[in-house]
Amino acid sequence: MSWWSTMYVVIAASGFLAWLTQGACFAYASEKLIRRCREQLFRNLLRQELSFFDHTRYSTGSLANLLSTEITSMTGLSGAVLGSIFTMLSTLVGGIVLSNILAWKLALVCCATIPIILFCGWARVKTLGVFSSKMKEAHISSASCAAEAVSEARTIAAFGLENHVLSKYNDILVGHIERSTQPIIKASVYYSASQSFAFLCAALGFWYGGRLLGAYEYNLLQFFICFAALISGSQSAGYVFSYAPDIGKARNACDTLMPLIGDGTHEPFKQHQVTKSSQSEKSGVIGFHGVSFHYPSRPQRQIFDNLSFTIQPGQFAAIVGPSGCGKSTILSLIERFFCPSDGYITLNGANIAMLNLDEYRYSISLVGQDSVLYSTTIRDNLTMGLRTEVTDEQLMEACRDANISDFILSLPDGLETTVGSRGQLLSGGQRQRIAIARALLRNPQILLLDEATSALDANAEKIVQEALDKAVQGRTTIAVAHRLSTVRNADVIFVAGENGMEEIGTHNELIARKGAYYRMVQMQNLGDAAA
């Protein structure tokens, strides 16, 4: 008796160590898998073409959901679930082998129910996979709706749209409930069957085992070993399918994420070999050669067709025209946010599609209409993306050129001042001037200005314009402008229209022609219109 007691103590200790090792190893592997997937997904999202984000299915809310909920759902096929599956398989296979060795007649009868249990479990996983897919669509829709509502909270409050937004959100959730009822019922039927067939296996075992015992074909020891092995195997098979919801979510998450995770290589980020001179040359000649373009999300609307022009090194070139004529699109093409559908763009004579993208973009600085600052210090926002360390003197020199140094010095913490989320603790003019200083610190070949003063009041515009006038010195500058007063001193002005560049010249030359530019000047009441 003491020997058996000792053996059970040994088994208990061994079981404790085995389960502890299994749990720790699978938990560690699961967390490492999630971390790697989340990191790879985020890396690939950052490297996507901007056209990728034009799709409604990849809104801010849906992408945030992918990085949080969907990635976490992959734990349904790792960690504790995977450990339970391995335990079930080993218990089931071991029980079938042992029972067939000791009592094959009884084993064959009892094993007849195991395929039914496995089929019901598999069918439940499939059904819950469909349910999980529908639930995911509803979650993405609701997350997008909520994200949009939160980001536009001021507009909603201003127009009293709270009830409308709440009703829209509720309709999404109610529709999800209606669509999910049938899959839930079907999955419940399969789960009930997988659990009940374990008792059918026990019933068959008692019925046929009793007949075999009565016929003296097997003894009581063989019966109980065979019965216990098969029952524990079938019960573990039924138990593991209680994880079917997690497995279904994990399967759907894998189907959704794998195309996005991929191998991490996207066409715009393929690195090409170029000659040293083509990328290190500082002349800054930009050329468009027969460029045609349409946005991938709107292929039926052609933005450009056979567009060609050249901007000489050191020129201050302005692009003006009516809204929707493609002014900002030209800057996006220069930045390689999008690729032309036909034709090509050159920098210093080299096709930009063949240049190393990281090096190429480092030679360009962009100041947009509403420059984004990150929720960190002014220093961190200024030095973001720089490849070399800069001194405080260099930082303040760039800030002086951007007309922001006096403001920074007036702050108690100076460069260490936190600007808040998206720079909301600063005014629009202050954010723009910090963005200009950030652009100047890179000492770019090409400076792109996308209506950098259009959202500012007259006083802020004057200060920022003075900073821009300093910034354009000594480098090729391309400015998209709506207010013509900001570009009247440009070396060359391109007037964009529905048919490409309608006019090219200086301010005085275009006024003298009395064409499209002249009419735009008249509409904005510039005094030179009468010249």
pLDDT winner (highest mean) among 242-251, 252-261, 433-442: 433-442
Do 159 and 296 fall into the same domain? no
> What is the arithmetic mean of pLDDT over 318-325?
85
Do 201 and 339 fall into the same domain? no
Indicate whether 265 pLDDT > 50: no
Q: Quick one: pLDDT at residue 273?
A: 47
> What is the arithmetic mean of pLDDT over 514-521?
86
The domain total for the chain is: 2
Do 293 and 201 fall into the same domain? no
Q: At what angle do helices 244-261 and 2-46 cross, to 10 degrees?
A: 30
Do 288 and 390 fall into the same domain? yes
With b meaning 16 or more CB within 10 Å and e meaning fewer, what string describes 391-425? eeeebbbbbebbbbbebbeeeeeebebebeeebee
Is 294 a domain residue? Answer: yes
Q: Residue 21 carries which side chain, given as an amino acid letter?
A: T
Residue where one domain finishes, among candidates 213, 230, 252:
252
Q: Quick one: pLDDT at residue 525?
A: 67
Is 169 a domain residue? Answer: yes
DSSP state of 476: E
Q: Quick one: pLDDT at residue 56?
A: 66
Is 33 a domain residue? Answer: no
Is 528 a domain residue? Answer: no
Indicate whether 1 pLDDT > 80: no
183-195, pLDDT tens digit by residue?
777 777 877 777 7
Residue where one domain finishes, among candidates 235, 252, 269:
252
Q: Quick one: pLDDT at residue 460?
A: 65
CATH of the domain at 492: 3.40.50.300
Is 298 a domain residue? Answer: yes
> What is the arithmetic mean of pLDDT over 130-149?
72
CATH of the domain at 230: 1.20.1560.10
Indicate whether 429 pLDDT > 60: yes
Do 143 and 203 fall into the same domain? yes
Average pLDDT, the chain: 79
> What is the arithmetic mean of pLDDT over 212-222?
83
**Cα–Cα distance measured from residue 201 to residue 81, given in angstroms and rounded to the nearest whole number:** 25
**Cα–Cα distance measured from residue 244 to residue 126, given in angstroms and rounded to the nearest whole number:** 9
- Domain extent at residue 451: 282-506
State how far the alpha carbon of 419 is from the alpha carbons of 382, 398, 427, in Å. 12, 18, 10
Residue where one domain finishes, among candidates 252, 267, 297:
252
Backbone angles phi, psi at 505, to 5 degrees: 165, -175
> What is the arithmetic mean of pLDDT over 376-383?
88
Do 220 and 286 fall into the same domain? no
Q: Quick one: pLDDT at residue 285?
A: 87
Map 249-264 to HEC letters: HHHHHHHHHHHHHCCC
50-107, pLDDT tens digit by residue?
777 777 677 676 777 777 777 877 777 777 777 777 877 888 888 888 888 888 888 8
Do 248 and 293 fall into the same domain? no
Do 128 and 177 fall into the same domain? yes
Do 198 and 302 fall into the same domain? no
Which candidate, 523, 428, 430, places its Cα nearest to that of 483? 523
Is 454 a domain residue? Answer: yes
Do 344 and 487 fall into the same domain? yes
Q: What is the DSSP string of 303-334?
A: SEEEEEEEE-TT-EEEEE-STTSSHHHHHHHH
395-406, pLDDT tens digit by residue?
888 888 888 888
pLDDT band per the 50, 70, 90 thresholds, residue 345: very high
Is 17 a domain residue? Answer: no
Backbone angles phi, psi at 107, to 5 degrees: -65, -40
Strand ordering across the sheet containing 364-367: 364-367, 446-450, 476-480, 316-320, 492-497, 500-505
Choice between 212 and 237, residue whose per-residue pLDDT is larger: 212
Instruction: Kindly report the number of other CB atoms within 10 A of residue 178's CB atom.
Output: 8
Q: Quick one: pLDDT at residue 275?
A: 45
> What is the arithmetic mean of pLDDT over 359-367?
87
Do 296 and 247 fall into the same domain? no
> What is the arithmetic mean of pLDDT over 368-386?
84
pLDDT band per the 50, 70, 90 thresholds, residue 262: low
Indicate whether 515 pLDDT > 80: yes
Indicate whether 302 pLDDT > 70: yes
| Percent of all residues in the chain with a pLDDT value above 90, rounded to a whole number | 1
pTM metric for this prediction: 0.67
**Cα–Cα distance measured from residue 304 to residue 339, given in angstroms and rounded to the nearest whole number:** 12
Is 40 a domain residue? Answer: no
> What is the arithmetic mean of pLDDT over 172-200?
74
Do 188 and 298 fall into the same domain? no
Strands (E), 144-242: none
pLDDT band per the 50, 70, 90 thresholds, residue 170: confident
Which candidate, 474, 473, 515, places its Cα nearest to that of 493? 515
